[in-house]
Structure 1
Amino acid sequence: MGLTGGIGAGKSTVAARLAEHGAVLIDSDRLAREVVEPGTPGLAAVVKEFGDQVLADDGSLDRPALAAVAFADPDARNRLNGILHPLIGQRTTELIKAAPPEAIIVHDVPLLVENSMAPMYHLVVVVHADVQTRVERIMANRGMTEEDARARIAAQATDEERREVADVWLDNSGSEDEVLAAVDALWADRLVPYEANVRLRRPADPPPAHKPNPTVRYQMRRLVERLRFVAGDRAERVEPVMSESPEDPQPAVIDMRLTVRTPEDVDALMDPLAEAGFPRANDHHASADPGRPVRVWLKSAA
């Protein structure tokens, strides 16, 4: 799953609690520091690109000096990202492969929304707090002025942009005990059974009764992007199957239609869909996620 949230929202609190439960936590910020530690190929590549001026006296990376050079213009920033992103991706892959088969992997990515990474994940968990709470936390924990704190918040994704990709919205505007209780429930009720269902390639149990889904429009858009990512070039169309009943604007089960180009594409997507959390169930694919009932109707355009 992907974990994200704006500065001051309390994402680190949620990440730490998930790790306490046994999640394998992959912190992208930490990896970004690791790949440019002294003696690494990453640091050598950065110095080759930007010069010795980005080194501190002890041979480590002088981050303020690098920022002054690499963020001076978009081209320099792109060159830096071209060095760092493949190294971070390689290290992320190594950590995922080293995790036990039954592990719940949590990828902590501050800029998940800004970098359009949501379709990559089975679930996206967004940690949220109201702006004033975030400002107060930033000022207390990072020593920023109120003006600087608000500027940092304004430079990141908006709440609406985060809602667009959120499978789980954790409100951390209240006490720490409240958000920790929400994380505990998320772990026990959703993440643990979801992992088991994906690993065993079985659909989640159907909901016991019709429960309206007030976020269905967000979820439909999220599913379109997720299924399009999984199907890749094989997808011709991905679309929700809308109910024609005005009495059912918030269906308990979301129906999605994935149209691929050929019958061979239908067969080729059986395993990728199961690995992505949509195992086969009779004449359709069903979600392995106990928190979001979905039916995926896979058909060929040919």
Structure 2
Amino acid sequence: MTSTPRRRLDNPADLAEGIRHGNRAALARAITLAESRKPEHREIARTLMKTLLPRTGKALRVGITGVPGVGKSTTIDTLGSNLTAAGHKVAVLTVDPSSTRTGGSILGDKTRMAQLAIDSNAFIRPSPSAGTLGGVAAKTRETMLLCEAAGFDVILVETVGIGQSEVTVANMVDFFLVLMLPGAGDELQGIKKGVLEVADMIAVNKADGDGADRARQAASNYRAALHLMAPKSMTWSPPVITISGLANQGLDKLWEQIELHHSKMTASGEWQQRRQDQQVSWMYDLLQQRVMEALERSNRSSSRLKELETHVRLGETPVSVAVDELAKLIGVH
């Protein structure tokens, strides 16, 4: 990848040119601008996104989640390395709403994915410290588009947090993979109905050595659980497979299933519909975020917001009354 002088990295035209040529410094700077809350940075980011939009949307976006200790990072590191060896360019993005204090750690992410960290055809980016899941997700969407414009054709989005982050990530990707552990007491450990409803595939990890038999049994249990649920698509029934990210076993089959899903969903028109629905959902998410920011920026409304928050917390003011007053403060009647 070529280098771009630092002094040019706040110019939208120069940034766009650098990103088109796969320049890492330009891509990293563009992501930083998109994450920024400064109006001047956002203006540059908006201009840049508009310029690069025709180059986006061509990557295969895969979300990956799993309970703590399931081996997400190891699996992503091995899978990503397989993909770059096959000629793909892979970007790994993490969504971690729990990291509001530290903001995540680039060094930490690269330590967890040692092979991809030194791969010239891979790019690793942690989520920003945004305070809310919605804020993290909004920035991840923009980062995803910027990576696509830079030529990355596979985007792997890892959910580090738990709970709502899984559903949020599922709503921004083409394929959502849920990793599970074999034989950890209750075979349905940590699995929630909401996650099953959005899963496009379940992969039981650590299915090597002594864990192979337990992984097969766990996979059977997960298949039974999925059969009890109505599929989210008439075109695709989520498969359950066994893999070992550490031993690089079953990851070729895993990727084949992802490509098969893409092929079937594209043929049925569901892939395009899903992308369009996600774009509209993103628009409304950003709108809600901007409204909240407008409240916080105004000294008068910000002060009143804190007061009303206290009154609502103590049960002194009904929520609907508080919202009505705040809406009027920003001109919404």
Question: Same-fold call, TM > 0.5?
Answer: no
Which has a greater percent of helix?
2
- For normalisation by structure 2, the TM-score amounts to 0.34
Judging by fraction of residues, say which structure has more strand: 1
